Amino acid sequence: MTMLDQTPSGETLLSELIAKDAVRIERLLPGPIERLWNYWIDPDKRRTWFGAGEIEPRTGGRVGILIRNADLSDAGDLPPPKYAEHGNENRIIGHVTVCEPPRLFGFRWQHGPDLESDVRVELEPRGDKVLLRLTHTRLPSRAALVSVSAGWQTHLGILEAHLAGETPQSFWRTMTRLDAIYDQRIPPW
């Protein structure tokens, strides 16, 4: 099932449910590819749109990302009640499953004991832009599918703003809006 979302500027974003427990998101972002790669691997750059912390850029390398969503946009950006239990911090612990700079990066995301999902990021040059294809598979529940779909779209919107030299939109307001859209569009399990 393909879902279309729109950015505030009216650009259409593609999200596709590729399995009951998997979503693929594509975005055409400002290049070059090496710059976009650095925004994934460099912890200082990654902190501006997703989360800081360690990624060892090699297959088998450690992943330890600290996400502080409220810090990604304007002050006073608080999570809605649905996400308040997470406060302002989430941690991703896992390991790199594939690393082929600057085109392919993947990691296993540990959600808890015996509960893991996989993220794969493919980068493809398209003139002065880069097609980013993010696939998140093995999600443990419909709620997780809704949350990560909205979350990835929100984080990628903030990345796009940084790459374009613009001020990002509010993380939690955007996330809340997209969460409601995905909740309506993703079928029950």
Total residue length of the chain: 189
Least Cα distance to 174 among 86, 72, 88, 67 occurs for 72
pLDDT over threshold 50, residue 7 = no
- CA–CA dist 183, 126 (Å, integer): 32
Tens-digit pLDDT profile for residues 97-142: 999 999 999 999 887 777 799 999 999 999 999 999 999 999 999 9
Distances (CA, A) of 5 to 40, 106, 147: 23, 24, 15
Distance from the Cα of residue 27 to its chain's centroid: 11
Residues 50-58, mean pLDDT to the nearest whole number: 95
What pLDDT is stored for residue 13 in this prediction?
A: 57
- C-beta separation of 157 from 167 below 8 A: no
HSE on the CB side for 129, CA within 13 Å? 10
pLDDT at residue number 86: 63
- On whether the CB atoms of residues 54 and 63 are closer than 8 A, the answer is yes
Distances (CA, A) of 154 to 60, 95, 100, 146: 28, 23, 25, 12
24, β-bridge pairs: 16, 135
pTM for the full predicted model: 0.91
What is the pLDDT, as a whole number, of residue 153?
95
Give residue-wise pLDDT tens across range 81-95: 887 776 677 888 999
Domain made up of 2-185: CATH architecture: 2-Layer Sandwich (3.30)
CA distance 20 to 138: 9
Closest by Cα among 103, 86, 105 to 95: 105
